[in-house]
Chain A
């Protein structure tokens, strides 16, 4: 048995935290791992992975240094991944549940006639996996008897592999990228710029709900608190829909799923769809003036009261 892991190319040649978590999950399958990295920064990413992180099961890195793979279009990636999976006897194929992973994995699965197991949160055995359904309201345990298993991993559920080095790993240059016969063009990516830590990997997250009324209030109240905690800022669907912030900040069933050490919900009511995205956070704090807000049911610590007084006071006291 052996595992193929798809590591997403990064724009600067660094290794993303979600890739580190993906490798940690892959190690739980107890197989030797081959990682495939694509895009013009693949070589640099492979070197960074090898020299800075420790992954005992990692045996080989295959790099496809081709800039046409930089945009990660599923129409381009699928033929390559299908070829790798058909030409080798990997028992497992894993990707992270990022927007790239979610986009490409089912397409690969369909062409291999394999139903993937998606959004795996626990690997119980090499063929037994846990995945949440119904927005995390139900937890299912799935057995996959097929010889080849393909999985997407909810990376927030796996602690990243530690720093160190994996000197023994071989880097192999991949050749012969199958051509894409579809006329799809990437036009542009509009990245929401932020000086803050990335939401899905931040250790601390401060989230604002609809109670914050408008964009100005949202920024003025949450930014200083996020600053003192070195936290990422998150949002609910309601606050995104009401124009309080950018939609890349949305946490929940249809947004991002996160599990930081500290999660502070400010003016968040706690709709089921939002809870699906954050209830695995280690310590949850809820600040809300409505004593019946469902968020208090999942919060470890609740503070009921005027958030316009509480948040500045908390910010000030944490700063000192």
Chain B
């Protein structure tokens, strides 16, 4: 591995309702209930954080810096502290100033500004956020920057010839692609297993500064008003409870009645 290349890694992270919580529609039917609900880092972003740290640990002379950024409410600083505790060098919070429903396209535009201003050459981020399930931002950012993209990464390797080889999960198996830096990589489940971070490290990270930016003042010219309107949200209709059967014969009879066999 040549020591000349200097990787400057940006890891965008999102604060979402914890994946173990079953979301409910709020009483006003305007959104989901967030009162008293646990929030966490989007699990796919956590994998991206882990990958950035592993790349740094494995290739000491390759990585110049790792930076995490979150666009969200003030409380998103909790997930950023976690990133610092795990080993990300620096981070910034772009306060969304109570603006809701900031769409992936607007997020991608803000990230583009950050990337260009600060000279990042690798963006590692989750393939999708588990709240809106859009699976958009990485591809959009790559498009806006006119960079190569490698989505759904299951393996990332830095080759001696300066190229990055990514194994991607696709519908019928895996695909391997190669591109030089700069590029955007989005992470899938099997890329790695994120580490846990202990209390001592977390306490230490509390002393580290978090840069604070304002989505309106610091990013003039980027329209963050949504293009799409949510008309309604609802919980899916639940099926009537099923029948518990006592034997295979009964099951076969039922399947015949339902005309599926």
Which positions in A face B, CB cutoff 8 Å? 73-75, 78, 98-100, 102-111, 113-119, 128, 132-146, 181-192, 198, 200, 204, 229, 237, 241, 246-248, 253-254, 256, 261-262, 272-273, 279, 282-286, 296-304, 310, 313-314, 317-318
Q: Are A106 and B136 in contact (CB under 8 A)?
A: yes
List B contacts of A189 (CB < 8 A): 170, 173-176
Contact pattern, B 129-163, Cβ under 8 Å of A = 1, otherwise 0 = 01111111111111110111101101000000000
Known: A73-B177, A74-B139. A284 touches B242 (CB 8 A): yes
B114 on interface, CB distance cutoff 8 Å: no
Contact B179 A182 (CB under 8 A): yes
Q: For B133, B233, B236, B255, which residue has the most chain A Cβ atoms within 10 angstroms?
A: B133
Return chain B residues, CB-CB under 8 Å to A132: 133, 236
Number of inter-chain CB pairs below 8 Å = 228
Contacts of A187 in B (CB 8 A): 165, 176-178
Q: Which residues of A contact B165 (CB under 8 A)?
A: 187
Asked whether B172 lies within 8 Å of A192 as measured between CB atoms, the reply is: yes
Stretch at the interface among B53-61, B84-92, B101-109: B101-109
Tell whether A317 pairs with B171 under 8 Å between CB atoms, given A133-B132, A186-B177. Answer: no
* Shortest Cβ distance from residue B120 to the other chain A in the assembled complex, whole angstroms: 17
Q: Does B28 contact A (CB under 8 A)?
A: no
Is A135 a contact partner of B133 (Cβ separation < 8 A)? yes
Which of chain B's residues have a CB closer than 8 A to the CB of A247?
A: 154, 169, 190
Main secondary structure of the interface of A (DSSP, over half): mixed
Whole-angstrom CA separation of A247 from B142 in the bound complex: 26
A182 to B150, CA, bound (A): 13
Residues of B within 8 A of A279 (CB): 236
Contact of A318 among B103, B149, B227, B261 (CB under 8 A): B261
Asked if B234 CB lies within 8 Å of chain A CBs, one says yes
Apart from the given pairs A115-B103, A283-B258, 19 other A-B contacts in the complex at a CB distance below 8 Å: A75-B148, A106-B136, A109-B140, A115-B136, A138-B23, A142-B231, A145-B227, A182-B179, A183-B180, A186-B177, A190-B176, A198-B172, A273-B19, A297-B241, A301-B242, A302-B243, A302-B244, A302-B245, A303-B247
Also in contact, A301 and B104, with CB within 8 A (given A115-B228, A189-B173) = no
Complex Cα distance, B22 from A46, in Å, reads 44
